[in-house]
Amino acid sequence: MNRTITIIPRPLSIEYGDKTIGISKKSVSICINGETRNDIHNTLKTAFKITGIDTSEKGLPVFVDIRIKDNDENNEAYSLNITEEGIRIKAEGINGAFYGCISAGQIISGADGELPQVSISDKPVHSWRGFLLDTCRSFYSTTFIKKMLDACALHKLNILHWHLTDDQGWRFEVPEYPLLTEVGSKRQDNTLPEAIDGFYDEGKESRRWYTDEEIKDIVRYAKERCINIIPEVEFPGHSSALLAAYPEFGCTGGPYHVENRWGIFPDVLCLGNDKIFDIYQAALEKITKLFPSDYIHIGGDECPHERWDVCPKCLERMKKEGLDSTAELQAWGTTKIASMVAALGKTPIGWDEVLENNKHNALPANVIVQSWRGIEGGIKAASMNHKVIMSPCERFYLNFKNKDSFEEPGRLGVTTTKKLYTFSPAGKELKLENPDQKNLILGGECALWTEKLPHSRNAEYLLFPRFCAASETLWLPEEEKDFEDFKVRIEYHKKLLHQLDYRFYEGELE
């Protein structure tokens, strides 16, 4: 048999024994000691289900010992031992027990009648291990979102960053502003094909937003998989969908339309109009009700200032606030929206542009900075004592091509599996002046921006196996990673992906 443990992400420590344990079928029976609540038992059953393993009373015994402690540092750690008695998992938190079951499920899935005698001790190096899914450029069913939550859980990712608003669509309801979805969710082009018999058909008109019930269902689904969902509401750029619904919030008054093109557009929110903060207050309050997460992403990227340069309201705002440029006007708006998020009891996250032009409006200390234009934004943010999420586009964007070929899908660049794998969020590349600043790097996120990806099956092809590599580079310390070893394990892992009905790229990895 193959005695190599092919778990992805690879556990921190693996020790092999001399024996093998025969198994007659790929099913398990779970016995919990310590915390025995029904919800915990269901969560652990879910872990095995995600790996394709059945749970029954007559399966291989899995003994899970959960002793929950008030210790966030170890709540994702676990130990796993396979002996002749069965599988024994110990953890100090539900998350750790869940990940132990995920690892056990992957081992059993790869077994051919026998399991290796093995002892595993494991925990992640980063607390923030995320995946960003853009449902604005392409609108995906709740079924696919749940499938991606299963993929996150299978690879021990604990964050789904859900991109809900952009130029090409607004995807959640705000009762006080119904046109955000009635108008702002729909665009006229063939990049968002109508479903013939799909989930979102409503007579002659297809709905292109998520209802409150759907979002709450997805949040529940994520929680059962130890995943937090971080919603993103863009401000003040990437706002064509909002402006199409409510043109009075733009500098020119329109007319505007929901964009059917990709790119950066000059029409953005008018920061001289106080009423834009009313609509955002309503939107943020709604987000707070739908998502229990401690975080809200406020965007802040790719915002042109050319409309502000000639807008009387914006120029008056600058004069009133003592600002020297329209670039500083964006920093003023960021400070205000971040304060609104904080007032709702949430922590704001912004793309690395939020670090700029803060002469008159210092970025609030609680803002987490997501560095996407490279690693420089993360370095600067850490030097200013801001917490950081690393998502450098040339390494972590999965909408880039897998290889440089006109026959491959993807856009904007090429990121091989090796190029992604060899980046570590708090690794040697950062060259921080103060080594203690590494503690501010929470982790990272791989991202799928969905221009030209109306079909989720094509999205899967771009995701895997780079998604798997991202999970390992976010789980292991830099010095523990081994790409040659990963290449061996990914060949076994592809069999599991195929079994679970994920499509994947099978070409060159480097």
The residues carrying an active-site annotation are 302
Residue 275: how many other CB atoms lie within 10 Å: 11
* CA atoms of 134 and 140, how far apart (whole Å): 9
What 8-state DSSP symbol labels residue 464?
T
Beta-ladder partners of 54: 27
Q: Which of 140, 262, 134 is nearest to 189 (CA)?
A: 262
* CA atoms of 356 and 331, how far apart (whole Å): 7
* CA atoms of 483 and 102, how far apart (whole Å): 22
Q: Are 44 and 32 in contact (CB under 8 A)?
A: yes
Q: Are 267 and 250 in contact (CB under 8 A)?
A: yes
Phi, psi values for residue 495, rounded to 5°: -65, -40
CA angle centred on 89, ends 60 and 83, rounded to 5°: 55
Phi, psi values for residue 218, rounded to 5°: -65, -40
Q: Are 246 and 258 in contact (CB under 8 A)?
A: no
Greatest Cα-to-Cα distance within the chain, rounded to the nearest angstrom:
78
* CA atoms of 210 and 131, how far apart (whole Å): 19
